[in-house]
Structure 1
Amino acid sequence: MSKDAPIRPSFRQLQYFVAVADHGTFGGAARALAVSQPSLSKLLAAMELELGVTVFERSSRALKLTSAGEQLLPRARYILQEVREFRAVARGAHGLFGDKLTIGVLPSIGAYFMPLANRSLHFLYPKLRLAIQEGSTVQLLEMLKNGRLDAVVGTPTNDPDIESQVLFAETLYACAAPDDPLSAELGPVQLSALSDKPLLSLSSDFRLTAIVERLAEEAGTYVSREYQGASLDAVRQMAVMGAGVAILPSLYAFAEAVRDPEFVVRRIEHPNAFHEIALHWRRSSPLKTDCLELAKHLIDVKKEIRAKRTTAFQ
């Protein structure tokens, strides 16, 4: 091979390979990468030819990895992860994470915390751009471990491959139908007052639901399996319709109560009625210093949000 010959497979070929595997279609991967589908297909076909293996089994109905593709995919992810971190370290002298951070967050964090955090970080690091992916902590940590994310804001984990920094704890609030006796008062509510109704939460993919299940057990009630929401908005609407009592984290509860004065939520008076949030990164990542700095900024943002709360939400 000539000393000037390009290294094969190229970074771009690996990037395209992983994108197609993640999206399940050439079209979806092409749109995500902002390239034409023919260009993507051509580059991957060239990679397969150069490697002498087929990585995707193509048919009119589905696209799936071959046995060789399944073996190569985690290695491709690892290489892309190492290159991203190599670039971030090289750019580190210019600011936090260089110029881009790909971060996974819980839905309540994404909608009710990250907009303010993004503004704060942009003020401190004008060149930094955040790419945000929402999901459950379980889903996001898997993406973190395989290199698709740089960091995750989610619930605590004992995973030995992950390092973490606790950020804050969200107090949990109860929301019931407007004609429910629980909605006739303001102020804290005792856990015992929830004993005669099912509690409503997200699907079991979210660790918040495990907390709600423990609270339900202490209250002598249960978490409804018939009405599990895909979003906090859905959980809230189910409660408003009388299906039970929604248990909501404070970021969501406070923001919605400010937006809608008719929305009644009451803080649950119980030592276990909280939802702890932490920042996670790979233990092997060279970006630990940046992650710890980011954690400090996120903690400051939460203090800013807390300072704006009215007396009813203290």
Structure 2
Amino acid sequence: MSYIVIDYLMRPTLRQLEYIVTVARLGRFGLAAETLNVSQPSLSAQIAEAERELGARLFERSRASVQPTATGTEVIRRAQNILREVEDLRAAVSGGVPFGGRLRLGVLPSIGPYLLPRVVAAIHRAQPDLRVIVREESTQHLEQGLTAGRLDLIISTPEDHPNTRQTRLFNEKLWVAVARDDPLSQATGPVRAESLSGRIFLTLDRRHRLSRIVYALASDCGGIVSDEYEGTSLDSIRLMAASGAGIAIMPELYAMQHKDRKTEVAIRPLAIAAANRNISLLQRASDSDPTGLDLISGALLSEVKSLGLS
């Protein structure tokens, strides 16, 4: 009688794949070791063993940083997929909690506080054991986080994330905020392009899609984007507009929070064709639809409808 001996020990191991992905995400062995709660020598040894098993060098190391090799980039991508599949497997056998019990959701800071509170509450009611971890980041950092596997899903402007699967949420119009003594504050209707000629526009820094939209609007209207001030938040831009430093361009969700308040600015809608942006729920193109995606998109679309967006 003959026997076939099967080695059930997968190499590299899942733990080693987790180490590889974490080092790639953080770019430093020391920081990765701290995040993983292991010693740096142990982390280095495990990755060296994985490299021996795979027969390829995965990282180029320097004093300043760690960069994946060409082979390492492919290994990291596949490792991210394997780890996500394992999370889905665990969810399937542990009561069906989606995203392995933890959804890492990235969102634009100009969207998150005004769209997500009731969405997160609805998700919690439907899946009490699912933790929703929200990260507010710039467009650029959302792209990096989704690509690296640091984020499971993101809510952002779809044109900035071409290699994704996209669920459209809504089209958001843009508004203008001006100081109370500004001539534009004397009316309440939509503001047209000719009224903005020669004006100074205020916006976020250039890592944000909103900044690029504002630059295009300024060009179309004959205005100028301020080279003396770049805001880090919509609140800071609004306050600068209140001081008379320029006009602030605001997304609709934010503007709706302030338009009926007796604040230091007057807020009016823009009647300009390009004064809008599309917002979508995005996932990696290489991913199959994760368990729970319908729950997340459904909660978001329900909130969008309640807010009167389309």
Measured against the shorter chain, the TM-score band is 0.7 to 0.9
Determine the C-alpha separation between the residues in 2 that align with 1:64 and 1:24: 5
- The amino acid across from 2:87 in the alignment is R
Determine the C-alpha separation between the residues in 1 that align with 2:41 and 2:70: 18
Cα-to-partner distance string for 1:224-252 (whole Å, 9 max, x where unaligned):
33322233233223322322111010122
Unpaired runs of 5+ residues, structure 1, are: 308-314
Contact 2:241 2:265 in 1 (8 A): no
- The amino acid across from 1:245 in the alignment is I
Determine the C-alpha separation between the residues in 2 that align with 1:277 and 1:235: 21
Corresponding residue SS for 1:254: helix
Match of 2:80 in 1: 80
Contact 2:178 2:265 in 1 (8 A): no
C-alpha displacement of 1:166: 1.2
Contact 2:105 2:151 in 1 (8 A): yes
What TM-score results when the alignment is normalised by the length of structure 1?
0.80
C-alpha displacement of 1:206: 1.9
C-alpha displacement of 1:101: 1.8
Contact 1:97 1:287 in 2 (8 A): no
Bigger mean CA offset, 258-267 vs 233-242: 258-267
Match of 1:19 in 2: 22
Where do 1:23-38 residues align within 5 Å?
23-33=26-36, 35-36=37-38, 38=39
Bigger mean CA offset, 91-100 vs 290-299: 91-100
Which of 211, 214, 238 aligns to 2:213? It is 211
C-alpha displacement of 1:285: 1.5
Determine the C-alpha separation between the residues in 2 that align with 1:165 and 1:297: 13
Aligned residues: 299
Contact 1:85 1:285 in 2 (8 A): no
Contact 1:188 1:268 in 2 (8 A): yes
- The amino acid across from 2:288 in the alignment is P
Contact 2:29 2:66 in 1 (8 A): no
- The amino acid across from 2:301 in the alignment is I
CA RMSD of aligned residues (A): 3.1
Contact 2:174 2:252 in 1 (8 A): yes
Cα pair distance change 1:259/1:48, threshold 3 Å: farther
- The amino acid across from 1:78 in the alignment is R
Unpaired runs of 5+ residues, structure 2, are: none
Corresponding residue SS for 2:232: coil
Cα-to-partner distance string for 1:67-90 (whole Å, 9 max, x where unaligned):
x75632441242133321343266
Bigger mean CA offset, 286-295 vs 99-108: 286-295
Determine the C-alpha separation between the residues in 1 that align with 2:11 and 2:74: 17
Determine the C-alpha separation between the residues in 2 that align with 1:120 and 1:260: 31
Match of 2:127 in 1: 125
C-alpha displacement of 1:293: 4.5
- The amino acid across from 1:196 in the alignment is G
C-alpha displacement of 1:64: 2.8
